[in-house]
């Protein structure tokens, strides 16, 4: 019964994380508008860098979440001997996730400071 509840909770959490409404327009139109402006090339490069940073952060967060889910499911269904191996992998995962989240947060802060600077 505990395993069923754990699987149900994990399934619901994954469903909530993956079911996001995205209202996106054509990437070609936004790129065309971004590069056709004649105001400042530095401004357009900053905006483009911010978009690239955002997409990179989303991909990193998605990979981290999927990896955590897989390790959690493996841990729930593994034998006692395998749990020690999975705990070692989990420790490496936690260190990597902290580095990923910290690095992307620092880059986001740097990007917000740079975007406020007028050249």
The residue that leads in pLDDT, 24 or 104, is 104
One DSSP character per residue, 30-93 reads HHHHHHH--S-HHHHHHHHHHHHHHHHHHHHHHHHHHHHHHHHHHHHHS-HHHHHHHHHHHHHH
Question: What are the residue ranges spanned by the domains of the chain?
Answer: 42-119
pLDDT digits (tens, 9 = 90+) for 41-74: 666 777 777 788 888 888 888 888 888 888 888 8
pLDDT at residue 108 tops 60: yes
pLDDT at residue 23 tops 70: no
Total-model pTM: 0.53
């Amino acid at each position: 019964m505990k395993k069923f509840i754990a699987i149900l909770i994990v399934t619901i959490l994954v469903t909530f994380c993956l079911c996001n409404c995205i209202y996106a327009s054509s990437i070609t139109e936004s790129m065309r508008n971004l590069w056709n402006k004649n105001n400042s090339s530095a401004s357009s490069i900053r905006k483009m860098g911010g978009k690239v940073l955002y997409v990179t952060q989303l991909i990193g967060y998605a990979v981290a979440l999927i990896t955590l889910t897989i390790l959690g499911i493996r841990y729930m269904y593994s034998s006692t001997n395998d749990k020690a191996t999975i705990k070692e992998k989990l420790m490496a995962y936690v260190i990597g996730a902290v580095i990923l989240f910290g690095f992307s947060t620092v880059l986001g802060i740097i990007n917000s400071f740079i975007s406020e600077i007028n050249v």
